[in-house]
Chains A and B, each alone.
Chain A
């Protein structure tokens, strides 16, 4: 597979020359397992919704940064406006090294170095696009969560002004301009995802010593307040 930066026009040409059947370029069943690395932020399938990342139904042939209702980074909006369209080669290049294809993307993911895994994942995603006909509908993808949070906690309405104050602890490391070198961006996350992630750190289901410490002392109301604040702030 070609790697590195691909000019969008050239890539589209190459994609047209590639085989059309999923089986020939990857194993969709194996790709479902690979998708587990994406499902913390992305959903795909009949009930897919935008989460931390946009839902991925119909991605093949779509212009980048055009999913309704998702707030893209400036970097992705520029890439889409310049003509980036998702075909096999673009997806492959992006999945190998997201920040090389779209510098400045908020997607905090190192990439997948294994070519076979990328091919499997692309085959899996392709099932949810219009072009490959007669592919049976898969089960709905699991919710983008690795942790159960009680409904009454999810239902808490956060106080964004308190969240703004509490957020000053976060912004020592996490940047409000959405840059994420070394430390992920947390701006514009849907509140529910934010709450689930923080409770996962608090319960130490997700392991990260700094985040376990930070989340460990936050109350349910404080987590809701932070979620309310970060869901609304615009990149500065």
Chain B
């Protein structure tokens, strides 16, 4: 049975009462219930699209611990002095007031897939028909020997937006003249593939202004990384002699740290550092693991609708999902959320379901008005999300194009945050 949503809404209360029963798939209760855990690029978008497009036919609850969400994307621009922290903060007020989403500021601490309930830290237990998990990342214990989450004040990861980013910037600003900044870069796969290297660019930009004799050292377990040629070209051009990167050939994958002594051991050579940014290996946010939908570090999903391989009524979006070829990015999570929202709405209200199409673009800033980008689009194929084509900025582009690319990235930030938070 296919029903047009608008026609249905327009037919009035009498018709609605006769149609309501077969329309919805909500078990014995009234409106179908969707719970979304995590209010970032995946979760906020999914909640907004389901609420917006179902015109009140679906009860949407969004569970997110923070009242102000600070985006991780663009946080490097804060480190570079191009954005204020306030520019990166967003509230959930419009999702509640204009879209009727029940926003609960609490931690989801458990999922019972048999009784289809989510437990909150505050003790409540909420029932769902469809559950969407978009919890972002957590860190793999022991991936950088000597570092664990209790060391995050001495050696910040700054790989979740907000206070960690502020802490890292304060430490950079407090570096002694000619001091040393060390980044321990993560192994694949991790959130935002160009992110660590955009961060290096922005730290270098700040240091070149306030502390030009400071040095930056990257210990990197990866042979190659995203937009490598573009970053290396820019580092040479703007920050000559400041940045050194040790790849796996030079022991960049054999790293331990001592947060009390502020030392980094790279393949037996100990560096005394002033700031150490440890970006550990990553895994799905913990609630995905607690829900029992992960396999290893991530949650495998079906590429047609982002439902998990483990449970057709539990969906995982964004960084936490093992979906195939898409990079873990805010843009990807936002794109996946729309496919998921369309599928979930179709399953619960018989609205039309359209074929899954995904896309991603990641912009990075290398120096003032020097932006670059990489992007691709994707569709389901061979049981995963598969790339169907893409592009990347080229080395040697002129200043006008790079400036336009940066301005485009600012337009994108305004666009995606409006798309997430209304």
Binding site for B on A (CB under 8 A): 161-162, 164-166, 168-169, 171-177, 179-183, 209-210, 212-214, 216-217
Contact between chains at B408 and A183 (CB < 8 Å): yes
| Chain B 139-182 near chain A by CB (<8 Å), digits 1 or 0 | 00000000000000000000000000000000000000000000
A-B contact pairs, 8 of them (CB 8 A): A161-B4, A172-B416, A173-B412, A175-B415, A179-B414, A181-B410, A182-B407, A183-B414
A-binding segment of B253-261, B271-279, B353-361: B353-361
Complex contact A213–B377 (CB within 8 A)? yes
Quick one: closest A residue to B98, CB to CB? A236
By a CB distance below 8 angstroms, the chain A residues around B134 are none
Partner of A210, one of B53, B373, B388: B373
Contact with A along B327-361 (1 / 0, CB 8 A): 00001001100100010000000001010010101
Given the interface pairs A166-B357, A213-B389, A217-B388, the reply to whether A174 lies near B377 with Cβ below 8 Å is no
Q: Is there a chain A Cβ closer than 8 Å to B418's Cβ?
A: yes
Query: Taking each of A162, A174, A209, A212, which has the highest tally of chain B beta carbons within 10 Å of its own beta carbon?
Result: A209
| Contact of B408 (CB < 8 Å), options: A168, A182, A217 | A182
For residue B375, CB closer than 8 A to chain A, the reply is yes
How many of chain B's residues have a CB under 8 angstroms from any CB in A? 34
How far does the alpha carbon of A166 sit from the alpha carbon of B359 in the complex, in Å? 11
Closest to A208 in B: B408
User: Contact at A171–B415, with CB atoms within 8 Å?
Assistant: yes
Question: What residue in chain A is nearest B416 (Cβ atoms)?
Answer: A172
Asked if A173 and B391 make an inter-chain contact with CB atoms under 8 angstroms apart, the answer reads no
CA–CA, A173 and B409, complex, Å: 9
Q: Is the CB of B331 within 8 A of A182?
A: no
Q: Which 7 A-B pairs have the closest CB atoms?
A: A182-B411, A183-B411, A209-B391, A168-B338, A182-B407, A173-B415, A165-B354
Is the pair A181, B414 in contact by a Cβ cutoff of 8 Å? yes
* A175 and B389 contact, CB distance less than 8 A: no
Q: A209-B373, A210-B391 are in contact. List 17 more A-B contacts (CB 8 A).
A: A161-B4, A162-B354, A166-B357, A169-B359, A171-B415, A171-B419, A172-B412, A172-B415, A173-B361, A173-B416, A175-B414, A182-B412, A183-B415, A213-B377, A214-B359, A216-B389, A217-B377
Is B128 in the interface zone, CB < 8 Å from A? no
Closest B residue by C-beta to A169: B359
CB-defined contacts of B53 to chain A, threshold 8 Å: 164
Do A213 and B391 form a contact, CB below 8 Å, given A165-B342, A165-B354, A172-B335?
A: yes
Determine whether B315 belongs to the interface, using a CB cutoff of 8 Å to chain A.
no
User: How long is the Cα–Cα vector from A80 to B334 in the complex, in angstroms?
Assistant: 38
B390 touches A213 (CB 8 A): yes
Chain A residue nearest to B6 (CB atoms) is A161
State A183–B412 Cα separation when bound (angstroms): 7
A168 to chain B, nearest CB (A): 4
Any chain A CB within 8 A of the CB of B120?
Answer: no
In the assembled complex, the Cα of A180 lies from the Cα of B411 at a distance in Å of 7
B92 interface contact, C-beta 8 A: no
A172-B415, A177-B418, A183-B408 known; A217-B389 Cβ under 8 A: yes
**Chain B contacts of A173 at CB under 8 A?**
361, 408, 411-412, 415-416
Confirm or deny: B376 has a beta carbon within 8 angstroms of a beta carbon on chain A.
yes
Q: How far is the CA of A235 from the CA of B300 in the complex (A)?
A: 38
What is the distance, in angstroms, from A163's C-beta to the closest C-beta of chain B? 10
Q: Produce 1/0 per residue, B204-215, CB < 8 A to A.
A: 000000000000
